[in-house]
Structures are given as structure tokens and as C-alpha cells.
Amino acid sequence: MSLPGWQALHAEYEAAGFTVVTVALDIDPEKARPWIEAAAPNHPSLIDTAHVTNELFGFNNVPMAVWIDETGTLVRPAEGASIEARDTDSPLPDDLPEPVRELITEARRIPDIGAAYHAAVVDWIEKGADSTYALDPEAVIAASHPRERNHAEAAANFELGQHLFGTEGKEAAVPYWREAHRLDPDNWTYKRQAWTLETTPEGEPSDLFQAPTEAYEGSWLHDVRAIGGGQNYITVPEFLR
Amino acid sequence: MIVETPTVDPDHFEQRTGWASKPEGLCKGSMCVPAPEAIAADGTLDVATLAARLDMPLVRDEATGVAALGPESPGHSLTTAVAPELTLPDQHGNPFSLSSLHGRKVLLVAWASW
């Protein structure tokens, strides 16, 4: 939830012709609202209840970003984005429950790209098309996420579940979300959106723990370990690999 | 996109998928697929024909009759580097269009409460 960091980037470079647009992939806008109000953004802060931007850009996790130049042309495809350095090495309390310790340990393996990503964005703001980070259209398309038939079918299943969640209730959505997870196991937005609806305690804004549930096969820790660990969790931009 | 009728409005279809209905066919970026049989006399688009011509999966919920049309495949998630026209509600519920930022550099970033 790095909204304050994105807002700060926007505020710093707005006068230089740069705008941050944040998009909340939240089926329930009310879940996103407390975070938005806390960050008090004066950049466009949008709500994407149907995960439309997944389909249009290829987002399959958060945070992920695209860069769009002054002509409305993408100069970077959907990829992992970060704006703040993370705490990856401070000692954990001795009395931390073991499942929480395991989860934090795995999360700390996620590549910490914040500082380098920030520098790349600033380079682009200052140099535009002359920035080494600004790709030409062919390179942007080639570097965008491959979409096979299973990915497309997963998108349709996820959106059908999203629609039925609103009109019929959660029970009607679960079979389609399970199918989306099966078809596109690398899409974390499909999984985390569905898991959080099972695991978030009543009255709480969100649950980042996302422990195993009866409704779905996977859980955050299980599925991250299945891909070889947190180091494989995000799409690291090629200039940071 | 969610479809509840056999035909869809071309403007809505373009808004949601990036595919525009033009005289030369269904077009996205520089790519056009001829599909005269998809376009009805009243200008609406036949969903089943769209799905077949553009290789889009159509998943139907039998209980409600509602269906979802997925994106085209195989290929890449981007078929063009031209940013799609995207309109979403802002935090106040007002529609915001990406095209209103033409002339500025934009970093569009997805996040979530979860």
C-alpha cells in the first residue's frame, strides 16, 4: 500500500509535466477507500472493481505499472513497480507466531527494487524519449506479458465471477474464481482478491496474511513457495535483472 | 467484458477491449480483422461472431445466462503500444479518462487493499 510514496513522486514532478495515476484493483471500493483517504492524493486515484487493467495492460500482481508518454504511447509494459525501500533485514521479535515468521521471511525475499525503480522514473521524466528506460513501441509489445488461451480464459472466468459476486453473492463467484486460478496460476491479482474475501475478519480493512481456506486450493505462502520463493514473486524490470 | 445480450454496442466493446468497429473491420492499433458478418444492420456487434473471429473465450453462467468475453489470444497482453482509452471512476465516483492526460508523462500503477 505505497500510496503515500506514489503521491510524493507525483507532487515532486507534477510541474515537470508528469502525473501518477493509481488504480485500486478492489472488487469493493470501500476496501480501498481508507487507504486512499489516508494518502490524501491529489493525483487521479481510480478504482478498477473488474480488474479491467489486468486485461488492457497485463497486470498480474500489484504493484505493477506502465509508463505512457505525452503522445499516449506506452514506453514501458506492465512490470513490477516500487517506490519505497522495504525493511528486509531488521530482526523479527522472538515471540512472533511461527506462521507469521514464515510469511514475513518469504515476503522479505521479494526483490527490493524501490530505489532503482525510482531513479529510472526520474531519468525518464527528465530525458523523455532519450532516457535509456523509454522503450520503442515494438520493444514494449515484445516485452509485454505473453497471453495464451489459458490466460484469456482465466480473464473471462475471473470477470464472470466478479460480476456474479455483485449480483448473486460470493458463492456464485467461487467456482469461476477457482477456474481462473487453475487456468492462470501466475496471476496473483485473481488469487489474492479471492483469498482476501475469505480470510479478512469482519470489520477489518484487509488481511495480508491470506492463510489457507476451504474455498480455494492455494494460499499466499504455499503458492509463493511453489514458484520457488519470494525472489520469483514479481516481474522485475529488465534493467534491474 | 460482461455480456448479457447476443449483441453489444460497438462503443462499449471498444472501450472495454480496445477493438474498434471500422469500415475495414475490427481494428486494434494497426491490426484489422475483416468481420462483416459480426456487424448487424443496426451497427451492433454479434458476440458469438466476435468471439470466433477474434479468438476470444466466451464463458457463460448457465444459472443466470450472463457471460464474460475474455481478451484475444494467443499473443501478448499488448498488441499495440498506443495506450487504450480507459475510463474508470475516481475516489469520488467521478469518471476519469486516461486521454485527459494527453501531453503529459503518465505512470499508471495498480495497487490493492489486499
Contact B80 A48 (CB under 8 A): no
- CA trace torsion A6, A11, A15, A17 (10° rounding): 10
Q: What's the gap in Å between the CA of A109 and the closest CA on chain B?
A: 19
Average pLDDT on A86-110 reads 90
Q: What's the gap in Å between the CA of B40 and the closest CA on chain A?
A: 24
Check CB contact of B105 with chain A, cutoff 8 Å.
Answer: yes
Note the pLDDT of residue B29.
80
Check CB contact of A137 with chain B, cutoff 8 Å.
Answer: yes
Note the pLDDT of residue A1.
59
Is the pLDDT at B54 greater than 90, yes or no?
yes
Show the DSSP H helices in A68-136 as ranges.
98-107, 114-127
Average pLDDT on A78-86 reads 91
Query: Which residue in A9, A55, A75 has the most chain B C-beta atoms within 10 A of its own C-beta, making it the best mutation to test that interface?
Result: A55
Is the pLDDT at B66 greater than 90, yes or no?
yes
Question: Could you tell me which chain B residue has the CA closest to the CA of A67?
Answer: B107
Give the model's confidence band at A201: pLDDT under 50 very low, under 70 low, under 90 confident, else very high: confident
Compute the distance between CA of residue B26 and CA of residue B37 in angstroms, rounded to an integer: 11
Compute the distance between CA of residue A108 and CA of residue A93 in angstroms, rounded to an integer: 15
Q: What's the gap in Å between the CA of B20 and the closest CA on chain A?
A: 14
Is the pLDDT at A207 greater than 80, yes or no?
no
Note the pLDDT of residue A87.
84
Compute the distance between CA of residue A20 and CA of residue B102 in angstroms, rounded to an integer: 13
Check CB contact of A146 with chain B, cutoff 8 Å.
Answer: yes
User: B-chain residues within 8 Å CB-CB of A67?
Assistant: 105-108
Give the model's confidence band at B97: pLDDT under 50 very low, under 70 low, under 90 confident, else very high: very high
State the maximum Cα–Cα separation within chain A, in Å, rounded to a whole number: 54
Note the pLDDT of residue A131.
98
How high does pLDDT run on average in chain A? 93
Residues A110-140 pLDDT 10s: 999 999 999 999 999 999 999 999 999 999 9
Give the model's confidence band at A234: pLDDT under 50 very low, under 70 low, under 90 confident, else very high: very high
- Chain B window 37-76: which residues touch A at a Cβ cutoff of 8 Å? 55-59, 61, 63-64, 66-76
Is the pLDDT at B85 greater than 90, yes or no?
no
Q: What is the DSSP string of A186-230?
A: T-HHHHHHHHHHHHSPTT-S--SS----SS-S--HHHHHHHTTSG
User: B-chain residues within 8 Å CB-CB of A17?
Assistant: 103-105
Check CB contact of A63 with chain B, cutoff 8 Å.
Answer: yes
Give the model's confidence band at B83: pLDDT under 50 very low, under 70 low, under 90 confident, else very high: very high
Compute the distance between CA of residue A171 and CA of residue A215 in angstroms, rounded to an integer: 9
Query: What cell does B63 get?
Result: 444459472
CB-closest option in A55, A64, A73 to B71:
A55
The single residue listed with the C-alpha cell 499508471 is B108
Give the model's confidence band at A160: pLDDT under 50 very low, under 70 low, under 90 confident, else very high: very high
Strand order in the sheet with B2-3: B2-3, B67-69, B58-60
Average pLDDT on B7-31 reads 91
Is the pLDDT at A203 greater than 90, yes or no?
no
How high does pLDDT run on average in chain B? 94
Percent of chain A surpassing pLDDT 90: 83
Interface A-B, measured as beta-carbon pairs within 8 A, has a size of 249
Average pLDDT on B15-23 reads 90
CB-closest option in B70, B96, B108 to A155:
B70
Strand partners, A176: none
Average pLDDT on B18-25 reads 91
Strand partners, A147: B75
Check CB contact of B1 with chain A, cutoff 8 Å.
Answer: yes
| B68 and B2 Cβ atoms separated by less than 8 Å | yes
Strand order in the sheet with A45-47: A45-47, A18-24, B105-111, A64-68, A74-80
Residues 6+ away with beta carbon under 8 Å from A146: B74, B75, B76, B77
